[in-house]
Amino acid sequence: MRIRHLAYVSLMALALAGCNDTLDTAAIDLSKVKNKVEQPLPSHILADMAKKGMDRNSAIMIRIFKEEGTMEILKANQNNRFEVIASYSICAWSGRLGPKVKEGDRQAPEGFYMLTPANLNPNSKYYLAINTGFPNRYDAANGRTGNNLMIHGACSSSGCYSMTDQQVLEIYAFARDAFKGGQKAVQLEAFPFRMTAENMWKHRLSPNIEFWKMLKVGYDNFEVTKRPPEVEVCEKKYVFNQQAGGPFNASGKCPVMTTPPALQMALATYDKQYQADYASATKKFDGMAWYDPSEAERKAVVAKQRKGHDIAYAPTGTALAAGKMVKVADLESMMSNQSGQQVARGGTVASPTTTASIRLATAAPNAAAPQAGSTMVAANIPANVPIPTANPMNPVVNPLAYAGNPAVETAQTEPPKKPPFWKFWAKSE
């Protein structure tokens, strides 16, 4: 009886870890929501804001972690530091870890995106939607293609981050209130995983590792300042929190840049601990690496969990549940077999771990450790990414913006550049 009871408790825990993030959210009866665009945030969230010293209309940012299937809303407190106010289990995301490269690859974007009020779509066919703004300046400079990539409801995805309708109702409300409070743009940070030393070691053999090292610089800047980093693009790379002697051009040469001294010192301290943690991970997982599961494998784990149980689960599951640590010697054959089967079915391989990447990383494992204090890390452009021969133009403002035609779901341009209020060195603390 005790074993049966424990099994029941475990299944209930899994259910709560699925699409529904809180009991309060799960209790929302959408049929009784009279105006979804103006639906207020739940009382428990407003109470939590008050406890944390946050104004209802203060600025927000959004962070996504694909591997664990989590979306976080962070909000500015009275000290202008951002902390998590709500966390949601992503209901569905397609593809596997790695950035979106081209239209039709089913990959969800990874990178830094700025969301303006024009990105909100109140009339989405997926209940409510927020356009991620893909492709941004970095994506365009690197020839990446795709559009209509959203955070939306309906729990169904092909390159988007899909939530339940109840979840997107809250996420939309967070953004709406922040814009009403005067925020000009909300920063969306989409990461493959939490960029800890252990995770960076586990994924060191991925062909995306150089791209992820570049994202990690922005990740580290937030961890140090607790404020969204100022993001620029030059030489087809992201750069963060840089004081520059000239304008930035996404494909052009970077201007002379300097990191504010206080930030530089803080990053150096952060990096010292990171390097110690990376060394520990190297010893802990010597000869091992992470096997990143395919979308089909994630779905198979979900199907197995649901079998015989009337419980709601996120339909595409999480990479943490379906992936595993394996011996490096076994990883090559696993990925080779999977790639061969996928190609045989007429499909394409989305950022697989390749034989070449395994041999390269195995030959020089320490080269995978990024430096947190560096201001810019060279991006690794996968072989299947087309490189434009001329400087690509920034995305053009689409005349069919939501303000004029809210039924249209199309990518928006980023807002005009100006010093953000969260700039780390803008004032003495």
C-alpha–C-alpha distance, residues 284 and 279, integer Å: 9
* Residue 407 structure tokens: 């039924």
160 is catalytic: yes
C-alpha–C-alpha distance, residues 374 and 377, integer Å: 7
C-alpha–C-alpha distance, residues 115 and 131, integer Å: 7
C-alpha–C-alpha distance, residues 155 and 332, integer Å: 33
C-alpha–C-alpha distance, residues 167 and 62, integer Å: 14
Which of 19, 91, 155, 160 is flagged as catalytic?
160
Which of 152, 155, 234, 254 is flagged as catalytic?
152
Residues with Cβ < 8 Å from 62, sequence gap 6 or more? 71, 72, 73, 74, 115, 151, 171, 186, 187, 188, 189
C-alpha–C-alpha distance, residues 267 and 119, integer Å: 33
Partners of 288 in the beta sheet?
A: 327
CB burial of 71-94 (b: ≥16 within 10 Å; e: otherwise) equals: bbbbbbbeebebeebbebbbbbbb
Between the CA of residue 76 and those of 44, 59, 170, 191, 246, what are the distances in Å? Answer: 18, 6, 17, 21, 30
Query: Measuring CA to CA, which residue among 295, 217, 216, 290 is closest to residue 259?
Result: 217
Q: CA neighbours within 13 Å on the CB side: how many for 294?
A: 17
91 is catalytic: no
Task: Give the CA radius of gyration of the chain.
Answer: 22
Between the CA of residue 278 and those of 196, 367, 370, 372, 429, what are the distances in Å? Answer: 8, 12, 10, 12, 32
Catalytic residues: 152, 160
